Chains A and B, each alone.
Chain A
Amino acid sequence: MLSIDLATLDAIVAHARRDHPDEACGIVAGPLGSDRPTRLVEMTNAERSSTFYRFDSMEQLRVWREMDDRDEGPVVIYHSHTATEAYPSRTDTSLASEPDAHYLLVSTRDPELTEIRSFRIVDGAVTEEPVRIVDATVDPNAVQSYLFGQTPATVDYECRSSS
Chain B
Amino acid sequence: MAIEVRIPTILRSYTGGAKAVDGAGDSLDDVLNDLDAKFPGLRGRLVTPEGTLHRFVNVYVNDEDVRFLGALEAKVSDGDTVTILPAVAGGAFAFAAMAALSSTR
Contact = CB atoms under 8 A, between A and B. Distances in A.
Interface of A: 23, 25, 27, 43, 47, 49-55, 57-58, 60-61, 64, 77, 79, 81-84, 88-92, 94-100
A118 to B, nearest CB: 14
Interface of B: 8-10, 56, 58, 60, 63, 65, 67, 83, 85-94, 96-98, 101, 105
Nearest to A26: B88
Given A52-B97, A90-B98, A91-B98, A97 B91 contact: no
A100 B9 CA distance: 9
A76 to B, nearest CB: 12
26 contacts: A23-B91, A25-B88, A47-B91, A51-B97, A52-B89, A52-B91, A52-B94, A54-B88, A54-B89, A57-B60, A57-B85, A60-B88, A61-B85, A64-B85, A77-B88, A81-B91, A81-B92, A84-B92, A89-B93, A91-B92, A92-B90, A92-B91, A94-B105, A95-B56, A97-B86, A97-B87
Contacts of B65: 57-58, 61
Nearest to B88: A55
